[in-house]
Amino acid sequence: MRVGFFRQTGTIFRFAVIGLACAGLFSTGLATVSAARGQDGQPGAPKPETKPQDAKKAEPKDDKKSKPQDPKAIDQVPKAEKPKKLGKPETWNGELLAEVVLLAYGSRPVIEYVCTNAREEGFIRIANGEDRPPIEGKFKQQFLRRETSDRDNVRIEVELPDPQGGEPQELAFGFNGFTGWATQNRRPIALTPQADASFRASLINDYMSLLRFREDGSKVEKVGAEKITGIDTYILELTRPDGSKTRYFVSSKTYRILHLEYELKESGDEPGKEKIIKFRESFYDFRAVQNVLVPMRKVLYEDGKFKQEIELREVRYRLAKLDEDVFLRY
């Protein structure tokens, strides 16, 4: 299998996620996905290709059911903040609504105590053209929380099948708080400045960034409301100190983040011209893990086309042992 090229701002493994060169790793590349009415209910938003047994998961579920929590985990975390009298939701500004979202995910004290580090494992499906099923592989992510979101350490490992039937291809992507790096089969792959910028954007444009808006020094504004597949949502716009923005679509019923959107600029085909790529990520299957609400399934779209789906099977926070060296280069 040839290393080929990274499709630097194409498929993004998110946390969040990383740019992966499926076009270079697989000779088929990424063809255009046919437009259809997607899971977010918007005209022209295509459906991700799923297995028959996954069909029942195609629509977002906005319910409050979750799996029972581990009694031992409950004893280890601080008590959640009790909600104060806030008045009617219609009167809340953006930051107050963001604080209510924090309560829905476990509250700030609980999240700060539990989410110091993490290990997530599951499966990933990557778009592989209009007439082909998605490429499926294993997914693993390790995370170490730092003082702000843009300094968090992240390592993502993906194992994908070899299209020629050989040994599985092992890909690793990391960010050590200052620089990004990547390897294929434990051999380094050079990241261009554009690829590095795409990788970093994928990490900070995450649902957790809204939950950490105060420590990041970000501003949150309520900029509207929208009904998506029959669910009323508030729209929050987060603006970071560097001016970059992410929009969050929050259920008006459960205050869970159902979708987020952000844009990324890249060099155009002509010198001096830029093009804007629009990303949208949707969240499903919310479960309580150590008293923190976690979306166990995430689906990513690029310019309205399905790009990838990550389904988590195991999530562990506040690990007793996590070697920080895994976040360094290679």
Element (H, E) at 23: helix 22-25
pLDDT at 285 over 70: yes
Express each pLDDT in 292-308 by its tens digit: 999 999 999 999 999 99
Please count the structural domains in the chain.
Answer: 1
What is the rounded distance in angstroms from the CA atom of residue 174 to the CA atom of residue 318?
20
Q: Judge whether 98 lies within some domain.
A: yes
Alpha-carbon torsion (96, 102, 103, 109), positive or negative: negative
Give the distance from CA 130 to its chain's centroid. 23
Site of tokens 């979306």: 295
Highest mean pLDDT among 169-173, 192-196, 273-277: 169-173
Q: What is the mean pLDDT of the chain?
A: 80
163 pLDDT tier (thresholds 50, 70, 90): confident
CATH of the domain at 107: 2.50.20.10
pLDDT at 18 over 70: no
Q: What is the mean pLDDT of residues 182-207?
A: 88
pLDDT at 258 over 80: yes
Q: What is the mean pLDDT of residues 271-276?
A: 80
Q: Judge whether 227 lies within some domain.
A: yes
38 pLDDT tier (thresholds 50, 70, 90): very low
DSSP E strands, the chain = 12-14, 17-19, 117-126, 135-144, 153-160, 169-175, 180-184, 187-189, 219-228, 231-239, 245-251, 257-267, 274-289, 292-302, 305-317
Domain that holds residue 29: 12-55+86-319
pLDDT at 50 over 70: no
Element (H, E) at 101: helix 94-105
Q: Judge whether 246 lies within some domain.
A: yes
Q: Judge whether 20 lies within some domain.
A: yes
What is the pLDDT at residue 191? 82
pLDDT at 168 over 90: yes
82 pLDDT tier (thresholds 50, 70, 90): low
Q: Judge whether 188 lies within some domain.
A: yes
Amino acid (one-letter) located at 14: R
Q: What percentage of the chain reaches a pLDDT higher than 90?
A: 57
Q: Judge whether 38 lies within some domain.
A: yes
